[in-house]
Amino acid sequence: MTRQLNVVPFVSVDNMMKLVLSVGVERFLAELADTVEEDFRRWAIFDKTPRVASHSDEGVIELMPTSDGTTYGFKYVNGHPKNTRDGRQTVTAFGVLADVGNGYPMLLTEMTILTALRTAATSAMAAKHLARPDSRVMALIGNGAQAEFQALAFKAILGVDRLRLYDIDPDASAKCRRNLAGFGFDIVTCGSVAEVVESADIVTTVTADKQNATILTDNLVGAGLHINAVGGDCPGKTELHADILRRSDIFVEYPPQTRIEGEIQQLAPDHPVTELWQVITGEVAGRRDASAITLFDSVGFAIEDFSALRYVRAKLAGTGFFEDLDLLADPDEPRDLFGMLLRAAAPAKGLVPA
Ligand code: NAD
C-alpha cells in the first residue's frame, strides 16, 4: 500500500504569497471571480447552511462548510476588530477541501490572504452584474487589510481606475495609497465621508467596528450608485443607515445567513431582497435602470470559499508552492491503528510491553 495516502498538500502563508505573485494579483482575482461565478451558476446543487458562529464580546469565530456532492470544503475564520491594536489581523482564516467519496482531505491551506482575495473577487463579480457599466470611480471607505484587494479586483474586473480613499485613521489611507501606487490608479485621499463619495460611481464600505455604525448616511447616496457593503457581517455589526436600504435594490448571497448578519438585519424579516445567483443565471434582472441604487449586502458565504479552495488546488498543480503534510494516520493494515502506534514506540524501551 502506498504511503502517499497520508499526505495532504498544505499551503502556508509564504507559499500562498508565492502562488498569488506567480499568477499575478489581478489575473488571480479575475480567474477567482470567474470560479466564484461558475459556482454561483450551479447554486442549487450545493449544501447550504448559515455559518456556525461563536460570538464573544470582542469578536466572532465561524465555521463555514459546504459541498457540491463531490467535494466538501470548510473555512475557519475569525473577526476581531480590536485585534489590530495588538498587532494582530482583524480577520484570519484557514480551510480544507475534501473528497466526498472517501472523506479524505485533499488540501489544507491558509485562507487569510485567500479570504481577502475571494471577498474582493466576489464583490467585483457582483458589481459587474449590478453597477452601471460605465462605472470608473470607486470610493473606498475603510482602508485596512481588505482594501487594496478590493481596489485591484474592481480594476481587473470592471476597469475602475479612479480611487477615492477615506479612513478614520489617516495612516491606513496613506498605507493603502502607497501600496497601490504602482497599479495605474488615479488616487485621491479624502478627509470625510461626504468628500469621498463625491463623483463616485461605486462606494465600497469595508470598515471594522463591532457596532451598528453609520458609515454612510442616506443624504450622501445619489441616484445610480452601486454600494458594495462588505464590513457589516455579524449580528449588531452594520455600516449603512437603514434609510439607504429602503431606497436600494438589495442583492444578497444566502438570505438565511444575511438576514442575521448583513445590513438587512436592520429591516423587517420579509423585506424583499434578490439572491445574487439568480441575477447571474439570468433568472432575475439585476440593475433596473441607470438611476437605480443597487446594494450588494456582502457577508461572505461558504460557496465563495469553496470556489477559492478549488481554484487554489487547480493552480497548485505543477508548482512547488506547497508542502506534503503528514496529517492522516495510514497503517499498512487499515484496522491496525493501534499496532502502528506500538511499532512507532518500539525503539523507546519501557513503552511497549515485552
Ligand atoms: P482592518 O481592521 O484591517 O481594517 C478596517 C479599517 O476600517 C481600519 O483601517 C479602520 O481604521 C477603519 N474604520 C473603522 N471604523 C471606520 C469608520 N467609521 N470610518 C472609516 N473607517 C473606519 O479590517 P479588514 O480585514 O480590512 O476588514 C474590514 C471589514 O470587512 C471587517 O469588518 C471584516 O469583518 C469585514 N470582512 C467582510 C468579508 C465579507 O465577505 N463580507 C470578508 C472579510 C472581511
Residue pLDDT, tens place only, 109-146: 999 999 999 999 999 999 999 999 999 999 999 999 99
For 9-46, what is each residue's pLDDT tens digit?
999 999 999 999 999 999 999 999 999 999 999 999 99
* Distance of alpha carbon 48 from alpha carbon 46, whole angstroms: 6
The confidence score (pLDDT) of residue 210 equals 84
Torsional class of 199: left (φ above 0), alpha (ψ -120 to 50), beta (otherwise): left
* Distance of alpha carbon 188 from alpha carbon 177, whole angstroms: 9
Point out the ligand 1 atom lying closest to the alpha carbon of residue 304: 40
Whether 349 has a pLDDT exceeding 70, the answer reads no
User: Which are the contacts of 132, defined by CB distance < 8 A and separation ≥ 6?
Assistant: 201, 224, 226, 287, 290
Give distance in angstroms: CA of 187 to centre of ligand 1.
20
Q: What pLDDT band is residue 5 in, cutting at 50, 70 and 90?
A: confident
- What's the Rg (C-alpha) of the chain? 22
Identify the residue whose C-alpha is closest to ligand 1 atom 9.
Answer: 144
For 207-255, what is each residue's pLDDT tens digit?
999 899 999 999 999 999 999 999 999 999 999 999 999 999 999 999 9
Give distance in angstroms: CA of 122 to centre of ligand 1.
16
For 153-175, what is each residue's pLDDT tens digit?
999 999 999 999 999 999 999 99
Identify the residue whose C-alpha is closest to ligand 1 atom 1.
Answer: 144
Query: What is the identity of the amino acid at 74?
Result: F
User: Domains of the chain by range and CATH?
Assistant: 7-113+304-330 (3.30.1780.10), 123-300 (3.40.50.720)
Pocket test for ligand 1, best of 206, 234, 253, 263 (most atoms within 8 A of CB): 206
The confidence score (pLDDT) of residue 319 equals 96
**Is 34 an active-site residue?**
no
Give distance in angstroms: CA of 206 to centre of ligand 1.
4
Q: Check pocket membership of 73 for ligand 1, CB cut-off 6 A.
A: no
Q: Check pocket membership of 119 for ligand 1, CB cut-off 6 A.
A: yes
Pocket test for ligand 1, best of 90, 177, 276 (most atoms within 8 A of CB): 90
Give mean pLDDT, residues 288-303: 98
Point out the ligand 1 atom lying closest to the alpha carbon of residue 234: 34
The confidence score (pLDDT) of residue 2 equals 41
User: Which are the contacts of 54, defined by CB distance < 8 A and separation ≥ 6?
Assistant: 60, 61, 62
Instruction: Give the CA distances from residue 313 to residues 96, 306, 308, in Å, rounded to whole numbers and listed in that order.
Output: 10, 11, 9
71 SS3 class = strand
Question: CA nearest 185: which of 221, 204, 160?
Answer: 160
The confidence score (pLDDT) of residue 1 equals 36
Q: What grid cell was written down for 289?
A: 435602470
Which residue among the candidates 39, 233, 297, 305 is catalytic per the annotation?
233
DSSP result, 116-137: HHHHHHHHHHHHHHHS-TT--E
Give distance in angstroms: CA of 143 to centre of ligand 1.
7
The confidence score (pLDDT) of residue 4 equals 67
Long-range CB contacts (within 8 A, 24+) of 43-52: 43/275, 43/277, 43/281, 43/303, 45/69, 46/303, 46/306, 48/254, 48/256, 48/302, 48/303, 49/256, 49/302, 50/254, 50/256, 50/257, 50/260, 50/261, 51/257, 51/301, 51/302
Query: What does pTM read for this prediction?
Result: 0.96
Point out the ligand 1 atom lying closest to the alpha carbon of residue 232: 32
Q: Check pocket membership of 169 for ligand 1, CB cut-off 6 A.
A: yes
The confidence score (pLDDT) of residue 353 equals 56
Question: CA nearest 296: which of 236, 341, 249, 343?
Answer: 249
Pocket test for ligand 1, best of 148, 167, 234 (most atoms within 8 A of CB): 167
Whether 351 has a pLDDT exceeding 60, the answer reads no
Identify the residue whose C-alpha is closest to ligand 1 atom 13.
Answer: 207
**Residue 333 parent element (H or E):** none
For 71-106, what is each residue's pLDDT tens digit?
999 999 999 999 999 999 999 999 999 999 999 999
Give mean pLDDT, residues 54-62: 95
285 SS3 class = coil
